[in-house]
Amino acid sequence: MKKLLCYMKGFRRECVISPAFKLLEASFELLVPLVMAAVIDIGIKNGDKPYIIRMCLLMVALGVTGLCCTLVAQYFAAKAAVGFSSRLRHALFSHIQKLSYSELDRAGTATLITRMTSDINQVQNGVNLTLRLLLRSPFVVFGAMIMAFTIDWKAALVFAVVIPLLFLVVFWIMLWTMPRYKRVQAGLDRVLGVARENLTGVRVIRAFGKEQAEIQRFEEENESLTRLQTFVGKISALMNPLTYILINLATMAVIWVGGLRADTGAVSQGQVVALVNYMAQILVELIKLANLIINIAKALACANRVEAVLELPVGMEASLKKEIGKQPGALAFENVSLAYQGAGAESLSHISFSAEPGQVVGIIGGTGSGKTSLVNLIPRFYDCTSGKVLVSGTNVKDWDPEALRSKVGVVPQKATLFSGTIRENLLWGKEDASEEELWQALETAQAKEFVEQKERGLDEPVAQGGRNFSGGQRQRLTIARALVRKPDFLILDDSASALDYATDLKLRTAIAKMQGSPTVLLVSQRAASVRQADVIVVLDDGEAVGVGTHDELLESCEVYREIYESQFRREERGQSHEQAK
């Protein structure tokens, strides 16, 4: 929690004004029992109505002034808490953006979402309550005890005994519940993870008829979280009855001692009433303090979880060098290996190949052979564990990540569009792209025709995830987004899987004719898509079992020959069947 306090800088005034006005309001509240004692001992005893009216007006004035102080305190506490949580959320989001894919994989999406939302909201609530009540409640408790001693020290001994016992109960419960609240938040992570997984894969779940199984899985996680929350809640709920018992016993003792002292004339009836009022004030404040402690325990647990994410080291250190590549479009892998964190074996082993500027590199292999892992090393989404990846003649680790990625256009396996318009999605590739550049990119990506048919053209709305477009349209729009950048390197990671062979061919032909042709890395499971590539890398279980041209690999690489023959013989059989019909 200490490391998060730096985000409170700039709110020092609010952090002083809020508790100061709360203490001022509490001071007025502590004067009320004395005024009541005066009304009883002087006004009522002597039948002095004007005095009673003046004292009543004084109490009203104290109440109104206290209300004004409370409003000021509430405003500044809220301002500080919201400002603090806003800065913290920005810092957390910014830090997450700097994490490599490895750190994101280790942390998990579900827990990051929980910490960005629920945890920071709990911290915000804790800061707000701390500024308003953390000083006020103890101030009133000890202030009431001091005021009681000014009335009669013998009767006030009851206060001196009961207050330490109350604080002992409060802090014991706080220390016991705090670690349990961490487990509650971890349980919330698991529930969110299951819910997110189900919402993302709802089509697969329905296709396999696993709705009931997933409902049961969710219920198990939810029930586990419920049991833990109920258990912790029961312990936290002990605070109110325990404090009530102690306070009521103390009130009985005050009345008994006060009555005895009043009989001897040591204290007046009004002073006994004041002592009871002070005990009632302590009761109210301890109830507030009990709830405050519970909320602070939650906030501290959540703050530690947020701090844990902020302390995740950024695995990829950014180079200070911005532009150091001297061979635009040149690419080389030198004995590259990659092992993911926690994996038992390497995903890529001793990969070596090179490509000249403007060449097309085809990457083919079976599912799980490491094709995506290979191309993810170029924009440095992951760092290789050994060997070198050279981009434009320079090791990617010596590039500034932003400068490196500005030269790379990536079209991932899953076509992802963002809510907005087609124009806004395309401008992700190049913020200052002209209208002509956008249409040129769409034409190259074979998307111009269907965009022109849209009523609003480039300003056609795009739903979240591009749900209002077909799979092929989404793929072509993501390709266009990458082409707008006019990158030196274009990575097409199986990004034409939803396109027919004719459209796929037109796309590859159009990319080859682009002005200042980029070095293209074409990941595909189709031999037809990569057969015209200048260099073909054949992967099998993370190893490059063949590197060369189509003709060379048919002669020398058994894996490539099997892929090619299985696909083309199937096509030939399909054509023969059509002719037979």
Structure confidence by residue, pLDDT tens digits, 443-462: 888 888 888 888 888 898 98
Q: Mention every residue, 6+ apart, whose C-beta is less than 8 A from residue 471.
A: 415, 498
pLDDT digits (tens, 9 = 90+) for 538-548: 998 888 888 99
Q: Compute, in degrees rounded to 10, the torsion defined by CA atoms 472, 473, 479, 481.
A: -160
pLDDT of residue 569: 65
More confident site: 166 or 456: 456
Share of the chain above pLDDT 90, in %: 10
Q: Is the pLDDT of residue 567 over 80?
A: no
Q: Mention every residue, 6+ apart, whose C-beta is less than 8 A from residue 287.
A: 240, 243
pLDDT band at 316 (very low <50, low <70, confident <90, very high): low
Q: Quick one: average pLDDT of 37-65? A: 86
Q: What is the pTM of this model?
A: 0.69
Q: Is the pLDDT of residue 332 over 80?
A: yes
Q: Is the pLDDT of residue 154 over 70?
A: yes
pLDDT band at 570 (very low <50, low <70, confident <90, very high): low
Q: Which of 217, 212, 397, 437 is nearest to 317 (CA)?
A: 397
For residue 447, which amino acid is it?
A
pLDDT digits (tens, 9 = 90+) for 347-370: 889 899 988 888 889 999 888 888
pLDDT digits (tens, 9 = 90+) for 225-248: 888 888 888 877 777 788 778 877
pLDDT of residue 236: 75
pLDDT of residue 579: 44
Q: Is the pLDDT of residue 127 over 80?
A: yes
DSSP run (H or E) holding 348: strand 348-355
pLDDT of residue 325: 56
Q: Which of 474, 486, 492, 379 is nearest to 432 (CA)?
A: 486
Q: Quick one: average pLDDT of 464-489? A: 87
Share of the chain above pLDDT 70, in %: 94
Angle at 133 between CA 142 and CA 278, to 5 degrees: 35
Looking at residue 458, the DSSP 8-state letter turns out to be G
- 87: Cα separation from own chain's centroid: 13
Q: Range with the lowest mean pLDDT among 115-119, 187-191, 497-501?
A: 497-501
Q: How many C-beta atoms lie closer than 10 Å to residue 516's C-beta?
A: 11
Domains defined along the chain, listed by start: 2-310 (1.20.1560.10), 331-580 (3.40.50.300)
- Exposed, middle or buried: residue 275 (CB in 10 Å: 0-12, 13-18, 19+)? buried
More confident site: 551 or 327: 551
Nearest-Å Rg of the Cα atoms of the chain is 36
pLDDT of residue 75: 93
Whole-angstrom distance, CA of residue 162 vs CA of residue 151:
18
pLDDT band at 581 (very low <50, low <70, confident <90, very high): very low
pLDDT digits (tens, 9 = 90+) for 262-290: 777 777 788 888 888 887 787 778 777 77
